[in-house]
Structure 1
Amino acid sequence: MVNRYLVEQVFSYFGLVFWSLQLAPQAYKTYRRGTSTGVSVWAMLIWTSAGVFMGVYNIGLGVAIALWIQPQIFAFIACICLFQEFRYQHKWSQATMCIGFVLSCLFFSGLEIGLIFAFKKAEQVENQGAIHFFGILPVVTILGGFLPQYYEIFRDKRVIGISHLFLTMDFFGSIFSTISLAFRDEIDALDLANYIAIACFDVGILVLYYIFEWYHKRKGTTNKDSDETRNSGELSHDCETAPEIKTVPSGEKLDQGL
């Protein structure tokens, strides 16, 4: 007999490690490169908000403690990535960036606390519409955060600046969190759908990376072949139009001269 509570707790901590820290490799990659090119500022802004909404819903549902902590760390690192965008793309000074980061953290913390009280109030009065609204918010914002990133990928026809380690951790964190939620006594469909959809979007970005890499390599090979063909055609054309030089035997020259 499987101990459902034990499975829920164990996989929630796996999800905590992978999902909450997923953006750390992205933040480090951006810092190491000294540029956030290829990373959508809108994606990071939406994901920061999404971490707040997911934290409210997970705390409100009373899921495993690890899944309470998970969105908080995720939102914190997403906020770091957001202000890296302002630093590298919009050339904010370091002081301005730090002040903005601290104020944003305070704002999002206050927003989450207020929304948790609102969720508990909705539970007390048994307002199912409000409870479902709190469940839909993280789904919409988490998945909506992928849309600006996908837009940049299709616009540039290339996946640049996105850490593969981030995508891998996000994928496995979502899978572990899904397993944890699936072993709860009361399974919440919205929470499950959220994590499953995240895993699918992560796989989509990885697939697009290899598709566009293949596309650019093929395009480069085609351009090289066409250049070689054009150059060889020009060479043959020059050979055809070059004047023909005839050599006359010395005997003929002697006869004509006589």
Structure 2
Amino acid sequence: MGLLTGDSQWPAWKASLLACAVAAVFAGAEAALILTLRPLYDRGNGTPVMVVGIIAAILLAAGLLPPYGEIWKRRGRVIGINWVFLGMDCSGAFFSLMALVAQNSFDVLGGVLYIVCCVLEIGIFLSHLVWLARTRRIRKAAAAEGKTFDDVAAEHEMRGIPFKFAERKGPLLDWNWKPSKSDDGMNERG
């Protein structure tokens, strides 16, 4: 709800109503899937359940791909990721995978789901570690001058000096999620 009530100034009751509506839709979808797929599964047809699992794996992977676009844009730097959450999520996927390995039979679909999650999350960690190693000297020199890495990047951009760690620019990379004001002269973007 914090996202809905923060920048957009939604009232708490409206955000709560939306959250309840989304929860009701998800609960209804889950109940519908259980009521329609369980009889099929009980009769020995596991294909529909397998399809739902495959869709879940695809959606999980798709949900972890947008950070890779941001990583590419920032040349390996990871911004906006909660490292504690990412570490816990990756650990959960890893230990769930180990639980599957310890069973008498291996659930391939679950295993693929956990492996995809682990690989994509470890990739995010590794990308930032590589970025930290590549920019170590720049960040150390900036800290000695009382600056941040972002300050150094901004100085290079202001002076028109190429900076090898500058963010990639382009029409597809300029994400602006804030709504623009109408052309009444207030808060114009330039």
Q: TM tier, shorter chain? A: 0.5 to 0.7
Matching residue of 1:105: 23
Conserved 8 A contact 1:181-1:188: yes
Matching residue of 1:121: 39
Structure 1 Cα separation of the partners of residues 8 and 67 of structure 2: 18
Aligned: 1:145 with 2:63:
yes
Aligned: 1:176 with 2:95:
yes
Aligned: 1:201 with 2:99:
no
- For residues 47-89 of structure 1, give each alpha carbon's deviation from its aligned partner in whole angstroms, at most 9, with x where no partner exists: xxxxxxxxxxxxxxxxxxxxxxxxxxxxxxxxxxxx4333335
Compare CA radii of gyration and give the structure with the larger one. 1
Conserved 8 A contact 1:143-1:197: yes
Structure 2 Cα separation of the partners of residues 94 and 129 of structure 1: 43
Structure 1 Cα separation of the partners of residues 22 and 109 of structure 2: 27
Q: 1:95 to 1:155 in 2, by over 3 A?
A: farther
Conserved 8 A contact 1:119-1:134: no
Aligned: 1:159 with 2:78:
yes
Which ranges in structure 1 are unaligned for 5 or more consecutive residues? 1-82, 228-258
- For residues 140-195 of structure 1, give each alpha carbon's deviation from its aligned partner in whole angstroms, at most 9, with x where no partner exists: 11111001222223224431221111111111111111122223333210101111
RMSD across aligned positions (CA): 2.8
Structure 1 Cα separation of the partners of residues 7 and 120 of structure 2: 25
- For residues 23-60 of structure 1, give each alpha carbon's deviation from its aligned partner in whole angstroms, at most 9, with x where no partner exists: xxxxxxxxxxxxxxxxxxxxxxxxxxxxxxxxxxxxxx
Taking the TM superposition and a 5 Å limit, the aligned residue runs for 1:29-178 are: 83-157=1-75, 158-178=77-97
Conserved 8 A contact 1:171-1:199: yes
Q: 1:207 to 1:88 in 2, by over 3 A?
A: farther
Structure 2 Cα separation of the partners of residues 185 and 191 of structure 1: 14
TM-score if structure 1 supplies the norm length?
0.48
| Structure 1 or 2: more helix by fraction | 1
Q: What SS does the aligned partner of 2:17 have? A: helix
Q: 1:218 to 1:171 in 2, by over 3 A?
A: same
Which ranges in structure 2 are unaligned for 5 or more consecutive residues? 143-151, 157-190
Partner amino acid, structure 2, of 1:168: G
Structure 2 Cα separation of the partners of residues 208 and 197 of structure 1: 16
Q: How many residues align?
A: 144
Q: 1:136 to 1:198 in 2, by over 3 A?
A: same
Instruction: Give, in angstroms, the shift of residue 209 of structure 1.
Output: 1.8
Structure 1 Cα separation of the partners of residues 126 and 29 of structure 2: 36
Instruction: Give, in angstroms, the shift of residue 112 of structure 1.
Output: 1.2
